[in-house]
Amino acid sequence: MVRRKKRIDRKDAEDRVGRLFGQADSVYGEDRSLSDRYIYLGRKLAMKARVRLSSVLKRRFCPSCYRYLRPGVNCRVRLYRGRLVYSCLLCKKQWRMPVGRR
């Protein structure tokens, strides 16, 4: 017998990913490893359901070490030459995002 993979509804997956990222934010002060776990689960769920993460959610974790980032605590955010430069203070990775003109 062939086992079929479960299909995950994209709307439900988006809601769950949003809740997981929200829980990561609320738990961060008490247990940072649990916060990182919520980020891991949210990313994994988004990839499985093929849900694209918004730019706001993408800024909440490091693309290198996948840990939850809180600016001023374990992340540095600077504006340099029209770009936002994010620096993870845990793995020393830097990445840039363009700032849109208004």
DSSP state letter for 66:
-
State residue 75's pLDDT score.
95
Q: Residue 102 above 70 pLDDT?
A: no
How many other C-beta atoms lie within 10 A of the C-beta of residue 33?
9
pLDDT tens digits, 63-84: 999 999 999 999 999 999 999 9
State residue 45's pLDDT score.
96
Tokens of 35: 């916060």
User: How far is Cα 35 from Cα 21, in angstroms, rounded to an integer?
Assistant: 8
Of residues 7 and 36, more confidently modeled: 36
Residue with tokens 């916060």: 35
Kindly report the pTM of this predicted structure.
0.84
Length of the chain: 102
pLDDT tens digits, 12-67: 999 999 999 999 999 999 999 999 999 999 999 999 999 999 989 999 999 999 99
Tokens of 12: 């439900």
Categorize the per-residue pLDDT at 2 as very low, low, confident or very high, splitting at 50, 70 and 90: confident
Helices (H), 1-102: 10-27, 32-48, 55-58
